[in-house]
Amino acid sequence: MLMIKEVYRFSELSAAKLYEILRIRNEIFVVEQQSVYNDTDGHDLKALHYTYWQEGELIAYSRILPRYTVYPLASIGRVCVRKPHRGQGFGRTLFSESLEILESTFGKQPIKIQAQLYLKTFYESFGFRSITDAYDDCGILHVDMVKD
């Protein structure tokens, strides 16, 4: 199947594409992971939105944030892949490409992420290291990580 990969600034998102982005994030982070939090945190306005589309369906997404949006460092978050498409390497490819997009857009720089604890090893494979102990955020254990 044809995969369409697109990067959008907030101002470039149509209402339909924004709806699909909010929908996938809600499905995975709020419903599937049963974590009630305010996903519309105001950071989307400054973010790059990296999307994977297959047959008109948004199947994977990440949010790439410049410095001084969430942290003094650049960041990548809301990394997600819909359930039927997991286990096929999309998450690894999505995150790797998100790192490349961040660097090509904002320059090579340190990056900070808030990772769910069970994904710590995944992010370590990209050169991230923990800078905090595990902590609870909305009912899910997280750890802050940095890549220099």
* Ranges in the chain, pLDDT < 50: none
DSSP letter at 29 equals I
Whether 127 is covered by a domain: the verdict is no
pLDDT for the residue numbered 33: 84
pLDDT for the residue numbered 15: 98
Whether 117 is covered by a domain: the verdict is no
Whether 143 is covered by a domain: the verdict is no
Whether 18 is covered by a domain: the verdict is yes
Whether 138 is covered by a domain: the verdict is no
Domain limits at 90?
Answer: 3-107
DSSP letter at 64 equals E
pLDDT for the residue numbered 30: 87
Give CA–CA dist 122/115, Å, rounded: 10
Whether 25 is covered by a domain: the verdict is yes
pLDDT for the residue numbered 112: 99
User: At 79, which CATH number?
Assistant: 3.40.630.30
pTM (2 decimals)?
0.94
Domain count within the chain = 1
pLDDT for the residue numbered 27: 95
Q: Nearest Cα to 65, choosing from 50, 55, 53, 52?
A: 50
97 and 89 in contact (C-beta within 8 Å)? no
101 and 62 in contact (C-beta within 8 Å)? no
